[in-house]
Amino acid sequence: MAKLEAANASPGAAATEKWSVRRLFSEWRELGIIAALIMTVLVFTAIDPEFLSSYNLVNIVLQASVTAILAMAVTFVIITGGIDLSIGTALALSAVVSGLLMSQGYPLPVVVLGTLATGALAGLFNGTIITLSGITPFVVTLGSMSIFSGLALIVSGGQTVYGIPPEFSDLLAGKIGPIPTPIVIAFVVLVVSSVVMRMTKLGEYLIALGGAREVARLAGIKVGFYTAIAYVISSSLAAVGAMVTVGRLGAADPALGADLLLPAIAAAVMGGADLNGGEGSMLGAVIGALLIATLQAGLTFLNVQAFYQQVAIGVVIILALLSNRLQKA
Amino acid sequence: MSASTAKPLLSLKGISKSFPGVKALQNVHLDLYPGEIHALMGENGAGKSTLLKVMFGAYSADEGAFELSGEPVSIRGPVDALHKGISMVHQELSLVPQLSAIQNIVLGWEKSVAGFIDWSAARREALAALARLDFQGNPHVPVSRLSVGQQQTVELARAIAANAKIIILDEPTASLSTKESEKLFSILRELRADGHALVYVSHRLAEVFDLADRATVLRDGQYVGTLLRGPDLNETSLVKMMVGRSLEDFAIQHEATLGAVALKVDGLARNGVFQNVSFEVRRGEIVGMAGMVGAGRTEVARCIAGADRIDAGSVSVNGKALSLSSPSDAVRAGIAFLTEDRKHQGLALRMSLAKNATLTRVPTRMGFINRTKQAADAKSALASVGARMPTTRLAGQLSGGNQQKVVLAKWLLSGCDIFIFDEPTRGIDVGAKAEIYALMRDLADKGAAILMISSDLPEVLRMSDRVLVMREGTLSGEVARAEATEERIIAFASGGNTWQS
Ligand SMILES: Nc1ncnc2c1ncn2[C@@H]1O[C@H](COP(=O)(O)OP(=O)(O)OP(=O)(O)O)[C@@H](O)[C@H]1O
Ligand SMILES: [Mg+2]
């Protein structure tokens, strides 16, 4: 009984506690994806040592920043046992709003608040419907994916929004010291998200209701409220990604979202998010995004055609998920 | 029962099994003879379920050998075990919740005619097995809509319908009432007479003396000994082998000092489930609630706890009527509800013990979780229910009884002062039971109001200041402590008596 279990905590009885690679991997879930990333970099470097040039590395991280932000966004939702298929188009909608506010000369605080509010409202829409209707998140966000995309086209009149004042581009796509701003923003999102997940009651509740919804409900946690919060966070982060995107492109394209969804979910899941809920890692999601960006950059670097690139990336994603599974078994 | 002369049906030799950080079994031997009921005893976490799962092929042993009728074999998995004539009733419910009782029993059905499964025959046999067990529920609705006790019955029916020579039962009576247990025992005796070998785990010692031909005791994953039915198989020797020391008798002497009415339930009803249930629980009082499986006790508790909607009547706390739209309303009013199904309703299995124990009240400091206090709170609450394991372990890695202790700890930390305990000692070993009884008494003495639903009649009699009895969705009787006897309670529970107070 308890004696046995207590005995195992004491150093003497540590026969089976001994260090092993297996144990390390199962305790530190991100290790697998980190290893995959390092291996990918090594393979490309072995093929062509030029790959590792610092310009290229910074560029990869820069490319990954928006995917990373979206991957963290969707991780918040996946942890609760849900899914957010609308983050891509929520980003597009926020981007269009952001672009319009910028091009019409509003000051920065208004632009930021307006964009975040757009994202938050999109998330509130998802969260409220999911909580009140009981329809599965997959279906609700499939619908809202289309709604947000339509709204983005309506608001922009179907046209890409140009005329972003250069000061916005400088601010959002410039550099802070030697580091490109999008990387700094993604890093801040990573730190804040990790702190929220690991150190606050909100994070603990999200994990609890993803892993054991009925248990959380019976423990008096307002599961509907916290579920909705997860979607609000998700779409708000998509709005953050929207500002970075608009800054980098110097324009807001209402059709932006479509290509962003799959890499974001793939990165989140490769990073350890369990689609059944209850588990997920912000750091893992970011590394997953880096892995995808590295593959894209490496294959482009090696002049692999775009069509083949897609196949290769798909294969790597499946391999990564497979090793995740083995790690958990 | 010529256990000494016959050849063992199944023999386990030198079985060892480790989980990360725990040696669950070390060099354990067990022989099973045809026509015997073999009790497997031990404290929570002693390794009983692990041994049974090794027998059933659900876990593979790290070391050790199997012999089936003298032939060395290996059991490659549950399907293989079923093929070899071994079936199992798990400690935690293992039915597919979306399927009906019949579908669950038929699942994995082996008999086929020219490659086609004869579904109608399968269904007939499933219904026959259910009928044999006096199953009261609807066999056609998803089992998730059945009570835990009824689900337990379905599990049993599945094991029986598989027609195995060896039937493994891991705490089959933990959520059955006396009457249903009796029914089960008579079936087990029939099976024994037919030459089946039965392995059986229970923390209710009386059952073991009643039923078992032999009892094997495990302690801390090691084989301690086997007692044959007879004068040697008695409470003192068994407890001593299990715990390693003698336990004092834990009869609880007390005079409850009753305070104000804390919980008042008036004319409560849920359509089609129970009607017109009214009672009060005072501070300082432990009110037992007895009844057969399916009488509606859990359903009443769920409504009081805000988990299900109430169709009529009211629930008041300290004289104030509550509006219960979700469990959070009940918890805020100070009502703690310890559910009987710990796996699906009590614990987040992939979270640590510390997080589970503090789920209702996460200690924070300046907006951040205070992990040090969280661990300390969990540790002390766990200690008070007799569990002393590291709070960083995951709930899913504990033995069933130790999981139950974590659920208890969670509600102790909730700050609630009205407790609804649904089968609080389900699966808990004799030693820890004593600690939990003392703790409940202590809670009551400190002014808590306790409603204790239990199918374990001796427990109801020992703990309750007053006993409510439910039958078929209504309160059928109320018995004061002084007049409470097993006979009276059973009479109310089964309809031999009508209301009197
Ligand atoms: N899946 C698992 N992962 C890690 N440890 C486990 C696992 N299952 C069981 N254990 C550990 O193995 C030991 C034996 O557990 P087991 O479930 O066999 O006990 P038990 O005798 O059945 O207890 P109970 O009476 O509480 O059901 C315990 O220390 C338990 O924590
Ligand atoms: Mg067990």
Contact predicate A272/A284, CB 8 Å: yes
Residue A217, judged by CB atoms within 10 A of its CB (0-12, 13-18, 19+), counts as buried
As a whole number, mean pLDDT of residues A237-249 equals: 95
**Which residues, in sequence order, are CB contacts of B286 under 8 Å at separation 6+?**
B256, B440, B441, B444, B450, B452, B463, B464, B465
Contact predicate B206/B32, CB 8 Å: no
Phi/psi of residue B364, nearest 5 degrees: -125, 160
Tell me the pLDDT tens digit for each residue of B406-465: 999 999 999 999 999 999 998 888 888 888 898 899 899 999 999 999 988 889 998 999
Asked if the Cβ–Cβ distance from A201 to B387 is below 8 Å, we say no
Choose among B18, B367, B388: nearest Cβ to A16.
Answer: B18
Residue A11: pLDDT band (50, 70, 90) is very low
Contact predicate A267/A293, CB 8 Å: no
Sheet order of strands, B449-453 included: B335-338, B418-422, B449-453, B286-291, B466-471, B474-480
Tell me the pLDDT tens digit for each residue of B140-163: 999 888 877 788 888 888 888 888
Q: Does A27 touch chain B if contact means CB atoms closer than 8 Å?
A: no
SS3 call for A168? helix
Choose among A201, A207, A222: nearest Cβ to B351.
Answer: A207
Q: CATH classification of B251-334+416-501, choosing from 3.40.50.720, 3.20.20.70, 3.40.50.300, 3.40.640.10?
A: 3.40.50.300
d(CA B28, CA B15): 5
Q: pLDDT at position B125, please?
A: 85
Which secondary structure element, helix H or strand E, spans residue A151, and what is its range?
Answer: helix A137-156
Q: pLDDT at position A19, please?
A: 60
Alpha helices in B76-222 (DSSP H): 78-83, 101-106, 119-132, 148-161, 178-193, 205-211
Instruction: Give B 263-282 residues with CB within 8 A of chain A.
Output: none
Question: What does the angle CA B440 – CA B445 – CA B448 come to, to the nearest 5 degrees?
Answer: 70
In this structure, what token pair is assigned to residue B273? 């489930």
Lowest mean pLDDT among A88-97, B244-253, B272-281: B244-253
Q: Is the CB of B181 under 6 A from ligand 1?
A: no
Distance B396 CA to ligand 2 centre (A): 12
Tell me the pLDDT tens digit for each residue of B321-343: 999 999 999 999 999 999 988 88
In this structure, what token pair is assigned to residue B35? 């026509």
Q: Is the CB of B41 under 6 A from ligand 1?
A: no
**Chain A residues within an 8 Å CB radius of B22:** 4-5, 8, 16
Spatial CA neighbour of A266 closest among A295, A242, A303? A295
Spatial CA neighbour of B133 closest among B195, B204, B182? B182
Residue B327, judged by CB atoms within 10 A of its CB (0-12, 13-18, 19+), counts as buried
Distance B401 CA to ligand 2 centre (A): 7
Q: Is the pLDDT of residue B64 over 80?
A: yes
Q: Is the CB of B386 under 6 A from ligand 1?
A: no
Asked if the Cβ–Cβ distance from B348 to A207 is below 8 Å, we say yes
ipTM comes to 0.86
Strand B63-68, strand B10-19: pairing: antiparallel
In this structure, what token pair is assigned to residue B306? 């805000």
Q: Does B131 touch chain A if contact means CB atoms closer than 8 Å?
A: no
pTM of the model: 0.87
Q: Is the CB of B42 under 6 A from ligand 1?
A: yes
Lowest mean pLDDT among B177-181, B237-241, B364-368, B395-399: B177-181
Q: Does B432 touch chain A if contact means CB atoms closer than 8 Å?
A: yes
SS3 call for B61? coil
Neighbours of A59 (CB within 10 A): 14
For chain A, the structural domain boundaries read 33-328
d(CA A254, CA A94): 9
- Scanning every residue of chain B, which has its alpha carbon at the shortest distance from the alpha carbon of A220? B328
- Scanning every residue of chain B, which has its alpha carbon at the shortest distance from the alpha carbon of A224? B326
Beta bridge partners of B280: B264
CA B22 vs. chain centroid, Å, equals 24
In this structure, what token pair is assigned to residue B2? 């010529």
Distance A76 CA to ligand 1 centre (A): 32
Please tell me what DSSP assigns to residue A253.
-
Spatial CA neighbour of B288 closest among B266, B322, B256? B256
Q: Is the pLDDT of residue A1 over 50?
A: no
Nearest chain B Cα distance for residue A276, angstroms: 12
Q: Is the pLDDT of residue B500 over 50?
A: no
As a whole number, mean pLDDT of residues B261-278 equals: 95
As a whole number, mean pLDDT of residues B271-296 equals: 93
Q: pLDDT at position A13, please?
A: 34
Lowest mean pLDDT among B117-121, B269-273, B317-321, B434-438: B117-121
Q: Does A21 touch chain B if contact means CB atoms closer than 8 Å?
A: no
- Could you tell me the sign of the dihedral formed by the alpha carbons of A240, A241, A243, A247, in that order? positive
Q: What percent of chain B has pLDDT over 90?
A: 55
**Chain B residues within an 8 Å CB radius of A17:** 20-21
In this structure, what token pair is assigned to residue B293? 């499986």
**Chain B residues within an 8 Å CB radius of A4:** 22-23, 45-46, 220-221
- Scanning every residue of chain B, which has its alpha carbon at the shortest distance from the alpha carbon of A221? B328
Q: Does B94 touch chain A if contact means CB atoms closer than 8 Å?
A: no
SS3 call for A26? helix
CATH code of B10-243, in short, is 3.40.50.300
Residue A97, judged by CB atoms within 10 A of its CB (0-12, 13-18, 19+), counts as buried
**Chain B residues within an 8 Å CB radius of A15:** 23
Tell me the pLDDT tens digit for each residue of A68-106: 999 999 999 999 999 999 999 999 999 999 999 999 999
Spatial CA neighbour of B13 closest among B58, B59, B43, B51? B51
Spatial CA neighbour of B253 closest among B386, B437, B443? B437
Hey, whose CA ends up nearest to atom 25 of ligand 1? B44
d(CA B206, CA B210): 6
The ranges of chain B annotated as CATH 3.40.50.300 are 10-243, 251-334+416-501
In this structure, what token pair is assigned to residue B68? 């089936």
Q: pLDDT at position B490, please?
A: 87
Identify residue B113 by its one-letter amino acid code: V
Contact predicate B288/B481, CB 8 Å: no
SS3 call for B338? strand
Tell me the pLDDT tens digit for each residue of B13-49: 999 999 988 899 999 999 999 999 999 999 999 999 9
SS3 call for B378? helix
Contact predicate B291/B177, CB 8 Å: yes
Tell me the pLDDT tens digit for each residue of A109-118: 999 999 999 9
Residue B2, judged by CB atoms within 10 A of its CB (0-12, 13-18, 19+), counts as exposed
Q: Is the CB of B172 under 6 A from ligand 1?
A: no
Ligand nearest the Cα of residue B402 is 1
Spatial CA neighbour of A2 closest among B234, B186, B343, B384? B384
Q: pLDDT at position B135, please?
A: 85
Q: Where are the beta strands (DSSP E) in B236-285?
A: 261-270, 274-282
Q: CATH classification of A33-328, choosing from 1.20.140, 3.30.70, 2.60.40, 1.10.3470?
A: 1.10.3470
Mutate to test the pocket of ligand 1, among B15, B19, B60, B92 (most ligand atoms within 8 A of CB): B19
**Chain A residues within an 8 Å CB radius of B350:** 211, 278-279
Nearest chain A Cα distance for residue B313, angstroms: 21
Q: pLDDT at position A29, please?
A: 76
Residue A57, judged by CB atoms within 10 A of its CB (0-12, 13-18, 19+), counts as middle
Average of per-residue pLDDT values in chain B: 89
Tell me the pLDDT tens digit for each residue of B354-385: 999 999 999 999 989 999 999 999 999 999 98
Q: pLDDT at position A321, please?
A: 80
Distance B222 CA to ligand 1 centre (A): 13
Q: Is the pLDDT of residue B295 over 60?
A: yes
Q: pLDDT at position B498, please?
A: 54
Neighbours of A303 (CB within 10 A): 6
End-to-end CA distance of chain A: 26
Q: pLDDT at position B471, please?
A: 92
Q: Is the pLDDT of residue A9 over 60?
A: no
d(CA B422, CA B54): 30
Q: pLDDT at position B132, please?
A: 84
Asked if the Cβ–Cβ distance from A5 to B350 is below 8 Å, we say no
- pLDDT higher at B122 or A271: A271
